[in-house]
Amino acid sequence: MSCSSSSGSEEEDEGMDSYRKGGYHAVRVGDTFAGGRYIAQRKLGWGQFSTVWLAYDTQTSKYVALKIQKSAPEFAQSALHEIEVLSAITEGDPESKKCLIRLVDHFKHTGPNGQHLCMVLEFLGDSILQLIRYNRYKGLPLHKVREICRCILTGLDYLHRELGIIHTDLKPENILLLSTINPSKDPIRSKNGPILSRPEGGMNGGPVINAIEKKLKQRARRAVARISARRVSMGGGTPAAKPERCLDGIDFRCKVVDFGNACWGSTPIAEEIQTRQYRAPEVILQSGYTYSVDMWSFACTAFELATGEMMFAPKIGQGFSEDEDHLALMMEILGKMPRKISVGGLRSKEYFDRYGDLKRIRRLKSWPLSRLLVEKFKFSVNDAREFAEFLSPILDFAPEKRPTAEQCLQHPWLNKTSESGVDKVDAEMSKLQIKADK
């Protein structure tokens, strides 16, 4: 999970055994922080290093995301690094125009498990991953994809060119919409007032709140199971077609978040960076990396927004590793990797022979990007060609040949104003859905 995200984690919970010395700080609804300035409202999510809570800032009367780091020294060190990066981002963008999450405040909080570094971040909405799921993995209309891509590239351009920072973990989970998809989950739009004191009940509301949350989750799971069972029975064993999701009313503006793994471009830290599916070839081969690794992850993210599916989802196979499958998948879509690159990394010999061919995966199926978009994802020939022309240069195996975020922002595909045929159909479908809803 994105630790800075206000979107919540996919797992059930972080496990009670981590609430010990050096671990998480136990928070209850209504708890106060920083001398009473911030009041905990509800848990938004958790990561390996921290828990994230929706909090009410009594000084500004705004909602914020309160990230409370585990207290052990290594976690404190990681938090200090993230605070340094976030401070640079926030100070250089006083008007908040660069599409990156803002740091509001940071402080130390002492609890039974030790001293915890806390970061206060602006409260944002759902992640792009949740948007993809909400849209039933169908792929968003291209004019919406362009809108999201412009935000991400604005953030990357500022990070790379002005601040000299590499994100190193760009993915749909780490890009948050400015507001929630469902208005009832937004603390402002839902019209629910803030909780200003601890609710009455067992242990000041802690276990009571947890019990209610668990019951709601169980009820939701049962409802999903019932719907799935009904679909199968209706379709004689085949699930019925899912109705269109209406995307009207959703604000597609977004910000890049989670700088826990970010590094300065002058001093790359870890050898293995990036989440698997968004990892650039130079990271797999260990041939050194720079800002262009973020561009590779961006292209994978843009593809996923437009199609609803990951561009590369490698698996371990008989006699070959996940890394080798990943390299094979890349070459099936992007063509053979130039020999100079395939043999130029510290780990090249694990995967390639001296001719630049994969050692264990010999037969590759060629499926160029534009053909893939037409045949598998039913893009029009024109939309597929234009989108592939935008993505292909960013997915160059040679990192130095990839366009920068600044160059991508000037690309004709990103600056199209007229809706294509596919977008028009999507727009019409949305209108019909609204009428049906009424």
pTM over 0.95: no
175: domain CATH number is 1.10.510.10
pLDDT value at residue 214: 59
Establish if 272 belongs to a structural domain: yes
Q: Rounded mean pLDDT of 406-430?
A: 72
**What pLDDT, in 10s, does the model give residues 95-146?**
999 999 999 999 999 999 999 999 999 999 999 999 999 999 999 999 999 9
pLDDT at residue 395 greater than cutoff 90: yes
pLDDT at residue 5 greater than cutoff 90: no
Number of domains into which the chain is organized? 1
pLDDT bucket at 242, cuts 50 / 70 / 90: low
Closest CA to 125 of 169, 182, 170: 182
pLDDT value at residue 438: 47
Establish if 173 belongs to a structural domain: yes
User: Residue 43 in contact with residue 51, Cβ under 8 Å?
Assistant: yes
Establish if 148 belongs to a structural domain: yes
What residue numbers bound the domain in which 408 lies?
127-181+250-438
Establish if 226 belongs to a structural domain: no
pLDDT value at residue 209: 45
pLDDT value at residue 88: 97
Establish if 340 belongs to a structural domain: yes
pLDDT value at residue 201: 55
336 annotated as belonging to a binding site for a ligand: no
Q: Rounded mean pLDDT of 14-20?
A: 82
The two tokens of residue 196 are 């200003």
Establish if 149 belongs to a structural domain: yes
Catalytic residues, by residue number, are 169
**What pLDDT, in 10s, does the model give residues 174-228?**
999 999 999 988 998 888 889 998 886 544 444 444 544 555 566 656 655 554 4
**pLDDT exceeding 70 applies to what percent of the chain?**
82
Return the higher-pLDDT residue of 34 and 432: 34
